[in-house]
């Protein structure tokens, strides 16, 4: 069975975008792969996080994953900072990866924005830590969206250079698992921007913790255009907000966007938004109840995560210790 690694940042409340684009796809993988899933709090602090919020969000993210069906008995589920193998290997990779490689990473450019000189250096070496996350487990498959493809290529470049420099065949090649129809959920305020948990506007996203009233209100207020829905996909060209809402209903109800249009052609957004809000409330309701149940006992969630980190460390520690030995570090014992 191939070993899969995937991570999610506790940089806010998980959104509908995280759910449709990542979390939901993690569940069927439990049947096909040996899965290692991680709440990557060390990645999250590459941009400022309020310390109290970060701890709460980390636990909340773990609860959200479990509530969505990521069963901790069928995978290794843990928090990144609890397993020191990640940063030990990341340091080695900081020394293997070339500056020129990191300079090409578009996510750094996007996240650092115009104030590049003032960005944290952690944000710059983020892809090296991501490579360490995967290689610390000798994982060979990673589910990736379009935005993470470049980082995965870098993880393979780092592995190849490490193997070459130290004359070994130690870190394996990683293959991307390309998800079926890419469910890229866009902001409810701007159909050209992706929905993000750290967007300053709460109205731009559906949080997995939003209740029925909040969901209905946000969908009702979502930006749209005055035209009715078309009957064909081509009619959504140049209408990013309309395309986004159609895509969300399709993803939530398990049909294609073309099917959604067939059912709702000619409808105005007043009616369509009502249908969409009802579908979201029905779909997310059971997840929210389960999240609430789990978070009512935070110590139990923490205990599950501790168990997960013990299992993760049991896999990663020997691999990273071997990497340190290959580099020439004096063995600790
Ligand atoms: N809008 C989205 N549509 C589809 N997939 C999405 N993902 C994130 N937003 C969308 C996917 O969620 C996974 C985990 O993402 P992450 O938390 O590690 O980082 P991110 O992609 O930066 O997510 P956010 O919500 O935008 O976080 P912030 O605001 O902190 O940067 C990834 O697989 C991602 O593709």
> Which string of DSSP letters, residue by residue, matches 7-54?
EE--SSSPBHHHIIIIIHHHHHHHHHSEEEEEE-HHHHTTS---HHHH
pLDDT digits (tens, 9 = 90+) for 71-122: 999 999 999 999 999 999 999 999 999 999 999 999 999 888 888 999 999 9
Give the active site residue among 111, 161, 223, 307: 111
Q: What is the pLDDT of residue 181?
A: 55
Confidence at 150, pLDDT banded by 50, 70, 90: very high
What's the gap in Å between 153 CA and the centre of ligand 1? 18
In ligand 1, the atom with minimum distance to the C-alpha of 9 is 17
Q: Which residues line ligand 1 (CB under 6 A)?
A: 8-9, 11-12, 15, 17-18, 20-22, 145, 147, 183-185, 194-198
Give the active site residue among 114, 194, 292, 307: 194
Q: Does the pLDDT value for residue 211 go beyond 60?
A: yes
In ligand 1, the atom with minimum distance to the C-alpha of 147 is 35
pTM score above 0.85: yes
Is 223 designated active site? no
CA distance 316 to 139: 10
Confidence at 7, pLDDT banded by 50, 70, 90: very high
Element (H, E) at 92: helix 85-96
Is 111 designated active site? yes
Q: Does the pLDDT value for residue 148 go beyond 90?
A: no
Q: What is the mean pLDDT of residues 266-277?
A: 96
pLDDT digits (tens, 9 = 90+) for 19-69: 998 999 999 999 999 999 999 999 999 999 999 999 999 999 999 999 999
CA distance 214 to 277: 10
What's the gap in Å between 207 CA and the centre of ligand 1? 13
CB 8 within 8 A of CB 41: no
The CA-CA-CA angle for residues 15, 236, 257, to 5°, reads 60
Q: What is the pLDDT of residue 333?
A: 76
């Amino acid at each position: 069975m191939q070993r899969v690694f995937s991570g999610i940042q506790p940089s806010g409340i998980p959104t509908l975008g995280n759910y449709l684009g990542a979390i939901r796809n993690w569940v069927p993988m439990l049947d096909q792969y040996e899965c290692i899933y991680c709440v990557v709090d060390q990645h999250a602090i590459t941009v400022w996080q309020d310390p109290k919020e970060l701890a709460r969000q980390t636990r909340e993210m773990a609860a959200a994953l479990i509530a969505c069906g990521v069963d901790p008995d069928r995978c290794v589920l843990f928090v990144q900072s609890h397993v020191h193998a990640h940063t030990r290997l990341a340091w080695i990779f900081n020394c293997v990866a070339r500056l020129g490689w990191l300079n090409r990473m578009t996510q750094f450019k996007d996240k650092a924005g115009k104030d590049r000189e003032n960005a944290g250096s952690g944000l710059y070496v983020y892809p090296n830590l991501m490579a360490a996350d995967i290689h610390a487990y000798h994982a060979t498959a990673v589910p990736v969206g379009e935005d993470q493809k470049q980082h995965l290529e870098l993880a393979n470049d780092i592995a190849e250079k490490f193997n070459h420099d130290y004359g070994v065949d130690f870190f394996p090649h990683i293959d991307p698992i390309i998800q079926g129809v890419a469910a890229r959920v866009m902001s409810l305020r701007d159909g050209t921007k992706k929905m993000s948990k750290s967007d300053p506007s709460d109205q731009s996203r559906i949080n997995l913790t939003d209740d029925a009233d909040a969901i209905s209100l946000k969908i009702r207020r979502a930006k749209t255009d005055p035209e009715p829905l078309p009957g064909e996909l081509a009619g959504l060209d140049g209408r990013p907000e309309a395309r986004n809402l159609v895509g969300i209903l399709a993803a939530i109800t398990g049909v294609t966007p073309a099917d959604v249009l067939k059912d709702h052609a000619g409808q105005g957004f007043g009616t369509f938004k009502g249908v969409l809000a009802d579908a979201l409330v029905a779909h997310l309701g059971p997840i929210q109840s389960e999240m609430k149940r789990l978070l009512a006992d935070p110590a139990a969630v923490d205990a599950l995560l501790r168990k997960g980190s013990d299992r993760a460390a049991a896999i990663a520690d020997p691999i990273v210790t071997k990497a340190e030995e290959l580099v020439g570090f004096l063995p600790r014992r």
